[in-house]
Amino acid sequence: MAVSKMLVGGEWVASSSEATISVVSPFTGKQIGEVPKGDREDIRKAIDAAREAFDKGPWPRMPARARGDVYLKAAQLLQQRASAIAELESRNQGKTIKQAADVDIPSSIDNLVFYAGAVRTLDAKSPQEFLGDGTTIFRREPVGVVGSITPWNYPFMMAVWKIGPALVTGNTVVLKPASWTPLSTLELAKAFIDAGLPTGVLNVVTGPGEEVGNELCVNPKVDMVSLTGDTATGRKIMESASSTVKRVQLELGGKAPFVVFEDADIPAAVEGAIVGGYVNGGQDCTAATRLILHQSVREKFERGLLDRVKQIRVGDPMSRSTDLGPLVHASHQKKVLDWVETGKREGAKLRVGGAEPGGKLRAGAFVNATVFDQVAPDMKIAQHEIFGPVLDVIEFEKFDEAIDIANGVEYGLAGSVWTQNVRTAMRAANAIRFGDVWVNDHLPIGSETPHGGFKQSGFGKDLGVDSLNDYTVVKNMYIDLTGLARKGWHYTVYGDPS
């Protein structure tokens, strides 16, 4: 069992109360680790350390290239430790080992390598004499102390998406991981410390959101708070951050539309729906949960879909041949199963799944791959994020109707359109209001591609050079070139023109 400490001011420490949180495997239901249950006193110490490191320490004053070098070293260490971290992630979160080892960990390491270079490309507008007698320079500077709050669905990857752009631009960070899945984040922090990150630049405090996370939002020594999490949590965070007028960056929930037009390549769309819908057990903010199908192809698509669902292999996430592991936690499993009941009550037709597999998998937090059809766009199961392996089939007749259904949710994170007609593709992709839009695929995101929501999916970007902008502020500097005591415009305040 892993007994871990948290990172505060360069020290690995227990919580001041000595309380702990037990970390459980969602596959076995058994405890696999223990982390400190940080409280307000602990998070304040971490914030003080980050403040001191920002105000007095070397990190924000280092050349971007030197910060990038620490990233490259951390990336190298993580590469050496990648398979152990992937195993830890899979055991703790329940995601399949093939996803953790082949996608989550390597793509996150690539994010760090990208940031090491990208930070050196940050440009400012060329200095100019905009105002005549002086030169104006726009400097891009770090925001300061950043509070980062991460979710449980991609623990390692989300921690990298948060601290990646924040630290490289010279900020200091206090990170709070989700309490169910803290283990891989502590490994990430270890790699940064081993790579030579100066004291206090990165702090990780494990503990409950309402106490530890909230302090990051209200503490006046924190300049910015960034959350990846539920839209309801985003609302609370905006509200608490308002008392100190903090910058806020929010990457929130989604309910992705997956629109299949009458001329789409149906076998390709079926593959896309299986992969896009059930990725990470459906615990993915971009998951293709609303299958919006033209009435002329609905039957063929659904036949293909149900056939493929039968082939999904549910089981031990540590086995390379498992496609669908357990959900993150037994209480989340219950929530997802409650959504299935809601769908049935609302009159949607359950075509497959909707229950635990039972048998040998009884101890795990499993929900079988589920498909509802005859779903109306305004049903609760079509409006709210279920965050499990549950897909809704919704039928449409006309192009405009498809667009209205796609846009008819509070979310705006990601969506895809499926058609072989370039005009339909462009018209639909332009018309749907989502931050990531794919044509004839669903999910691809990389280090270079800015990812973030429209509407109540939040604002700001993770990944890409845009994320570096979120973590920097522009300072406008003016240098007088005249050397005159009395400048030509002074008479507008007092005296007469000379």
Catalytic site residues?
Answer: 251, 285
Member of 50, 183, 273, 285 binding ligand NAD (CB under 6 A): 285
Q: How far is the CB of 72 from ligand NAD (least distance, A)?
A: 25
Binding mask 459-498 for ligand NAD (x = CB under 6 A): ---x------------------------------------
Q: Which is nearer to ligand NAD, 202 or 402 (CB)?
A: 202
Q: Which amino acid is at 487?
A: K
Taking alpha carbons only, the member of 400, 404, 382, 418 closest to residue 304 is 418
Neighbours of 6 (CB within 10 A): 29
Residue closer to ligand NAD, measured from CB, 158 or 314: 158
What residues contact residue 99 under an 8 Å CB cut-off, 6+ apart?
90, 279, 280
Span of 3-11, 17-25, 183-191, 456-464 interacting with ligand NAD by CB under 6 A? 456-464
Place of tokens 């030509």: 488
Q: For residues 270 and 246, is the Cβ–Cβ distance under 8 A?
A: no
Least Å from the CB of residue 319 to ligand NAD: 25
Given the rule CB under 6 A, which of 97-105, 231-239, 260-268, 357-365 is the region that contacts ligand NAD? Answer: 231-239
Residues 342-401 contacting ligand NAD, CB under 6 A: 385, 387
Q: Pick from 96, 171, 233, 368: which binds ligand NAD (CB under 6 A)?
A: 233
By CB under 6 A, which span of 228-236, 264-272, 309-317, 416-424 interacts with ligand NAD? 228-236
Q: In this complex, which beta carbon is closest to ligand NAD, that of residue 370 or of residue 419?
A: 370
CB of residue 238 vs ligand NAD: minimum separation in angstroms? 10
Of 26, 282, 453, 464, which lies in the binding site for ligand NAD, with binding defined by CB under 6 A? 453
Q: Rule CB under 6 A: say whether 254 interacts with ligand NAD.
A: yes
- Closer residue to ligand NAD (CB): 104 or 187: 104
Asked if 438 interacts with ligand NAD (CB under 6 A), we say no
Q: Give the tokens for residue 288.
A: 């293709």
Contact positions with ligand NAD (CB under 6 A) in 396-425? 413
Question: Which of these ranges, 86-94, 248-256, 421-429, 480-488, lies near ligand NAD under the rule CB under 6 A?
Answer: 248-256
In residues, how long is the chain?
A: 498
Q: Given candidates 228, 368, 424, 472, which one binds ligand NAD under the rule CB under 6 A?
A: 228
Contact 42, 6 (CB under 8 A): yes
> Cβ(226)–Cβ(166) under 8 Å?
yes
For 75-107, b/e burial (b = at least 16 CB within 10 A) is bebbeebbeebbbbbbbbbbbbbbbbbebbbeb
Instruction: Using the structure block, give the residue that is written with the tokens 């839209």.
Output: 231
Site for ligand NAD in 166-225 (CB under 6 A): 176, 178-179, 209-210, 213-214, 217
Query: How would you classify the pairing of strands 134-142 and 472-480?
Result: antiparallel
Nearest one of 212, 283, 248, 164 to 39, comparing CA atoms: 212
CA angle at 175 for the pair 169 and 180, rounded to the nearest 5°: 145
Listed in sequence order, the DSSP H helices in 297-367 are 298-310, 330-346
Burial of residue 410 (number of CB atoms within 10 Å: 0-12, 13-18, 19+): middle
Q: How far, in Å, CA of 315 to CA of 324, rounded? A: 7
| Nearer CB in complex with ligand NAD: 57/254 | 254
Write out the binding residues for ligand NAD, residues 43-72 only, by CB under 6 A: none
Give the largest Cα separation in the chain, rounded.
94
Is residue 153 involved in binding ligand NAD (CB under 6 A)?
yes
Number of residues that bind ligand NAD (CB under 6 A): 33
Least Å distance, CB 58 to ligand NAD, is: 29
Q: Which of 312, 305, 317, 446 is nearest to 368 (CA)?
A: 312
Q: Does 93 bind ligand NAD (CB under 6 A)?
A: no
Residues 17-36 that bind ligand NAD (CB under 6 A): none
Stretch that binds ligand NAD, among 44-52, 106-114, 148-156, 395-403 (CB under 6 A): 148-156
Q: How far apart are CA 229 and CA 328, in angstroms?
A: 15
Report the nearest approach of ligand NAD to the CB of residue 444 (Å).
14
Q: Where are the alpha helices (DSSP H) in 384-459?
A: 399-407, 422-431
Give the residue, chosen from 39, 104, 187, 251, that forms a contact with ligand NAD under the rule CB under 6 A: 251
Q: Which of 249/419 has CB closer to ligand NAD?
A: 249
Which listed residue (25, 90, 99, 150) binds ligand NAD by CB under 6 A?
Answer: 150
DSSP β-ladder status, 458-459 and 390-396: unpaired
* Spatial distance between the Cα atoms of 391 and 337, rounded to a whole number of angstroms: 13
**Which residue, 195 or 217, is less far from ligand NAD as judged by CB?**
217
CA 187 to chain CA centroid, Å, is 18
Residue whose token pair is 């940080």: 38
Question: Which of 183/266 has CB closer to ligand NAD?
Answer: 183
Which residue ranges make up the site for ligand NAD (CB under 6 A)? 149-153, 158, 176, 178-179, 209-210, 213-214, 217, 227-230, 233, 236-237, 251-254, 285, 385, 387, 413, 453, 457-458, 462
